[in-house]
Amino acid sequence: MRYFHYKLSEEVWGTNPYDAVAALGSLLDPNWAVAIDGYRIGYVTGDCDPDDLDPVWDVTEVTEAQALAFCQAIWEYAEVQGDGRISGPLPEFPE
**pTM of the predicted model as reported, rounded to 2 decimal places:** 0.86
Grouping H, G, I as helix, E, B as strand and the rest as coil, residue 92 is: coil
Number of domains the chain contains: 1
**Domain range holding 58?**
2-74
Whether residue 85 is contained in a domain is answered as no
- Average pLDDT (1-12) is 82
Whether residue 41 is contained in a domain is answered as yes
Whether residue 27 is contained in a domain is answered as yes
Whether residue 80 is contained in a domain is answered as no
Whether residue 31 is contained in a domain is answered as yes
Q: What percent of the chain has pLDDT over 70?
A: 89
Whether residue 89 is contained in a domain is answered as no
